[in-house]
Structure 1
Amino acid sequence: MARPTPPKDPGALTRFIQGEFHARHRARLPALAALSEEVESIHAGRAGVPAGLAGLLRQMIGALEVHMKMAELILFPAMRKAAPGLDLPIAALRANHEDHTAEVEQILGLTSGLTLPAGACASWTRLYAETRAFLDDLKEHIRLENEVLFPQFETGVARHG
């Protein structure tokens, strides 16, 4: 399925990010963590089990929620008003993106790059397919903010990474 084209206008882009990514992360991630918990429990001790994935996904729920609330309640409204002095909140969100990218690497490590073991059950297969979809969404979310949205408001003061 093709992704919708993000708008160029920064105010519209902030709304697009909220509707396209924030809403989907909130909807998908708790179910993904629960599915991972199920797979880890049922297949405990089996080679290739992504032990710890559910915990990492639950950690990401909290981290992403803090990140998204900061964007929705502080940064995005300020961007919509073209407020000056956004370098520090943007730097904070860029730092969050680096943390999320590190968590993605941990997920890939725990799952052998989302490679299913031979004979994986339907739940395990669904877990990895849905995890891939989440990671693809997160990657695009981060790209849109880092490469498209944030540069429109940065003045170079406090630019992180």
Structure 2
Amino acid sequence: NKGIGGFMMIKNFKASEKIGDIVARFPKAAEVFKIYNIDFCCGGDRPLSQAIEEQKLNQKEILERLEEQYGTLRSMELEDVDFRKLSMTELIDHILNTHHVFVKTELPRISDLITKILRVHSVEHGQTLSQVHKLFGSLRMEMEQHLIKEEEILFPKIKEYEQNPSDQLLAEIISVMEETENEHDGAGDLIKSLRTVTNDFNAPSNSCASFVLTYKRLEEFESDLFQHIHLENNILFPRIKA
């Protein structure tokens, strides 16, 4: 079954996760936790399930609300939302709460799937899957470093500039921005190579369910990545340059 935007319906949040980790991965989760008076600051090192149990809350309801928030943000891209009309801060928050969350969630899941099918199908498809494993490993490393650079350096500087513009801050932003644009090109090249190696993400005939699922998830990752890059390269960055 497909969910929003053709993405497979997968659970993005688990009660076993630490509260602080959930908010770090999906900042808008903080709004949900505030509703239920769940401490995500000083109490962020606890599993969500512990807070739910202590406060006698409804676990299913909270997890569903988290999924709903995530789904609402992602559905923005299906509607006629003109991202050019959002403030730079609003656009950045959208990128963080949808695309960054998706990447952080999917990188380890896809990596595990690729390792699994390489182990099981190394005899008949070893050459292809070894290439897939290597390419995705490079993509994962680049994306993890890229997200950190955006979250810790680039995006905070852009938000600050929108509130208090200065020539010095603008020069710093443009310097980092050029680096991230080059990283976008590198990530785009890697995902295109993955498409080529996997025959456009088509699993071999008579493949097992895990093989088919892995290729499907890679295709969905490609779709999200291209939209992610589009919002930055074609909308956010040109506004800084202008």
TM-score (norm 2): 0.60
Aligned to 2:131: 52
Contact 1:53 1:107 survives alignment (8 Å): yes
| Distance of 2:158 and 2:89 partners within structure 1 | 7
| Distance of 2:234 and 2:208 partners within structure 1 | 39
Contact 1:11 1:80 survives alignment (8 Å): yes
Aligned to 2:226: 139
Number of residue pairs matched by the alignment? 155
Aligned to 1:95: 182
Q: What do the CA deviations read for 1:112-160 (whole angstroms, capped 9, x no partner)?
A: 11112110110011101111111111111011100011011015xxxxx
Contact 1:34 1:54 survives alignment (8 Å): no
Give the aligned residue type for 1:55. Answer: K
- Report which stretch shifted further, 12-21 or 47-56: 47-56
Aligned to 2:170: 84
| Distance of 1:131 and 1:20 partners within structure 2 | 17
Larger RCO (alpha carbons 8 Å, 6+ apart): 1
| Distance of 2:213 and 2:228 partners within structure 1 | 22
Deviation at 1:52, TM superposition (A): 2.5
Give the aligned residue type for 2:159. Answer: R
Q: Does 1:127 align with 2:205?
A: no
Q: Does 1:18 align with 2:105?
A: no
Contact 1:29 1:61 survives alignment (8 Å): yes
| Distance of 2:128 and 2:150 partners within structure 1 | 35
Pair member with larger Rg:
2
Long gaps (5+) in structure 1:
156-161
Contact 1:39 1:123 survives alignment (8 Å): yes
| Distance of 1:50 and 1:110 partners within structure 2 | 9
Deviation at 1:45, TM superposition (A): 2.7
Query: Displaced runs of 4+ in structure 1, greater than 2 A?
Result: 47-52
Contact 1:21 1:137 survives alignment (8 Å): yes
Long gaps (5+) in structure 2:
6-74, 162-168
- Report which stretch shifted further, 5-14 or 66-75: 5-14
Matches within 5 A, 1:33-44: 33-44=111-122
- Identity of paired residues, percent? 21
| Distance of 1:21 and 1:28 partners within structure 2 | 10
Aligned to 1:151: 238
